[in-house]
A and B are shown apart, each in its own frame.
Chain A
């Protein structure tokens, strides 16, 4: 099992450019999440999905769109990148909302917006 995979691993964008980050999991998990991680701050939830065809806003959704393509794949799109979106982006998945369920993380995408 590959677990949670993310593409790309690194990307440099210019302000105003767009890009899509892709996440896939092979653990048959229902829930998937997109986080961003910035120095000195905790992981912040951007958007999440509780199942195929569903998405919901997290703590910091502005400037991002998501799509739950199928049970395995969850994409994050930046339509017009801004320097404030320079961050490390992590995708995570979990089997269900049960209290003890741990989140499994992908390796991250390091994005720089110039």
Chain B
């Protein structure tokens, strides 16, 4: 079966750095997405990786290793507004997105 694993919850301090991991086992691979979802709101796109390596976008970076079935989202200089759930999703061989359950990130002052 297809499976996406990510930690259920993480806590970090304002101003610090946090890394959210995602491991996947899917039928085929056509890219990995990270989305942010604030409580009670819709998911919004953060990043996309299809080749191995690091993609940087401001305070957020995303890394992919296809051979290991592994990705991480790195958030730097954490702000209180970064408190949200972070969803990892993989596009499979049918070009459908398979979603992880999300990681709830709690930022403390």
Contact = CB atoms under 8 A, between A and B. Distances in A.
Interface residues of A, number: 19
A84 interface: no
Given A45-B96, A99-B31, A105 B44 contact: yes
B95 to A, nearest CB: 5
Contacts of B44: 105
B91 A99 contact: yes
Dominant SS among interface residues on chain A? loop
Interface residues on B, range: 20 to 34
Interface string A94-106: 0001011011111
B45 A40 contact: no
A88 to B, nearest CB: 9
Given A40-B101, A42-B98, A42-B101, A102 B42 contact: no
B31 to A, nearest CB: 5
Interface of A: 40-45, 48, 58, 90, 97, 99-100, 102-108
